[in-house]
């Protein structure tokens, strides 16, 4: 069976009225016929707003003093898992660092330089962990949207009851999700499961992922005598497209929007390619709640800070939610079914 294809268009609405890039329109279409199957609103989570603000303005003063970390009370996923006594780990008994400062004490961890030689890589590689400011500059400088995760607290039992996205609610691990306000005055609760997040991989420790697959799956935790991976990278490098916002159904890249004489408005679009394979997510439901509960209904893009382990293994720390999108329940009962996701962000 071929993967089911879902296309997400995350497009800003009238900024003159809303005065915020957080107002978005998300459209799911079948790519073969272009038929619309769902339309909804996506939001940038509050930590994503912080990320945008810091990137756009000099809030950290390039010195990254603690006083500039104005949303320090929002924990990263790393901290949340640690607080729940389920820390992310490289291997059994070896925890990943919670913050950039923890890397200083380990000789096996280092800055990520992009894997290629360039003037910028040389500058980054010349930084030292002995200088606290260097650490913090690196953390702010290298943070990017590079991971994504899935959840099951975005919709009620009926597929039509998609919950309103609240920008202070993430796809929360271990406990926080039961306080989720769906916008209807009630709470969305799941008493029979441990978390609103759905791990992509969930298996016994003797069947852990090998190094090849661990280049795609991150957030390794040990729960219920099993190994779980909660985050995944994109299938392809994000593509930046310059185009004109006409009625074309294609995202046509324009080499020089300044020289083009078209009357339509120009815009920049980032295209992301993700997928849920035929083996992703099912293992958790099969082992914990039963195959009939297999589903997903929320997706979140995440920012993180890259670093390297043992000289060549790419890892991420301080994983924080960037956006959140809730959609109708997508069942994963069919073990041969996959989902291809094309995600467009309009700037």
The region, left, alpha or beta by phi > 0 then psi within -120 to 50, assigned to residue 85 is left
Most confident of 35-49, 143-157, 164-178: 143-157
- Local confidence band at 198 (pLDDT 50, 70, 90 cut-offs): very high
Q: Is the pLDDT of residue 252 over 80?
A: no
Ordered DSSP codes for 92-125: TTEEPPSSGGGGGG-TTEEE--TTS--HHHHHHH
- Across all residues in the chain, what is the average pLDDT? 75
Mean pLDDT calculated for residue range 221-246: 88
User: Which of 78-92, 124-138, 269-283 has the lowest average pLDDT?
Assistant: 124-138
User: Which of 11-15, 250-254, 305-309 has the lowest average pLDDT?
Assistant: 11-15
Q: Rounded to an integer, what distance in angstroms lies between the CA atom of residue 66 and that of residue 70?
A: 8
The percentage of residues in the chain with a pLDDT greater than 90, rounded to a whole number, is: 15
Contact predicate 276/261, CB 8 Å:
no
CB atoms under 10 Å from CB of 155, counted, come to: 23
Mean pLDDT calculated for residue range 233-238: 92
pTM: 0.82
Higher pLDDT, 306 or 6: 306
**Considering only CA atoms, which of 342, 318, 343 is closest in space to residue 51?**
318
Q: Rounded to an integer, what distance in angstroms lies between the CA atom of residue 347 and that of residue 27?
A: 16
């Amino acid at each position: 069976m071929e993967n089911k294809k879902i296309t997400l268009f995350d497009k800003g609405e009238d900024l003159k009225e809303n005065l915020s890039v957080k107002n978005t329109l998300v459209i799911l279409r079948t790519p073969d016929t272009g038929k619309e199957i769902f339309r909804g609103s996506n939001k940038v989570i509050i930590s994503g707003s912080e990320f945008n603000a810091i990137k756009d303005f000099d809030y950290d003063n390039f010195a990254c003093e603690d006083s500039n970390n104005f949303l320090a009370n929002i924990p990263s996923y790393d901290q949340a898992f640690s607080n729940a006594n389920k820390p992310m780990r490289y291997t059994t008994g070896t925890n990943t660092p919670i913050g950039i400062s923890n890397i200083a004490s380990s000789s096996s961890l280092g800055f990520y330089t992009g894997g290629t030689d360039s003037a910028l890589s040389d500058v980054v590689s010349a930084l030292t962990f002995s200088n606290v400011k260097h650490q913090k500059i690196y953390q702010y400088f290298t943070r990017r949207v590079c991971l994504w995760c899935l959840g099951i607290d975005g919709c009620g039992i009926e597929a039509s009851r998609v919950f309103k996205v609240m920008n202070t609610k993430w796809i929360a691990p271990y406990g926080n999700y039961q306080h989720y306000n769906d916008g209807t005055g009630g709470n969305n609760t799941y008493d029979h499961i441990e978390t609103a997040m759905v791990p992509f991989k969930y298996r016994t420790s003797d069947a852990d992922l090998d190094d090849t697959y661990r280049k795609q799956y991150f957030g390794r935790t040990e729960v219920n005598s099993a190994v779980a991976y909660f985050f995944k990278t994109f299938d392809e490098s994000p593509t930046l497209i310059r185009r004109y916002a006409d009625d074309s159904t294609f995202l046509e890249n324009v080499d020089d929007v300044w020289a083009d004489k078209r009357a339509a408005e120009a815009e920049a679009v980032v295209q992301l390619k993700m997928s849920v394979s035929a083996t992703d997510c099912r293992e958790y439901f099969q082992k914990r709640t039963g195959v009939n509960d297999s589903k997903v209904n929320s997706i979140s893009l995440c920012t993180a800070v890259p670093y390297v382990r043992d000289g060549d293994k790419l890892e991420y720390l301080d994983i924080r939610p960037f956006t959140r999108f809730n959609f109708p329940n997508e069942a994963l009962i069919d073990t041969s079914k996959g989902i291809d996701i094309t995600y467009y962000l309009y700037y």
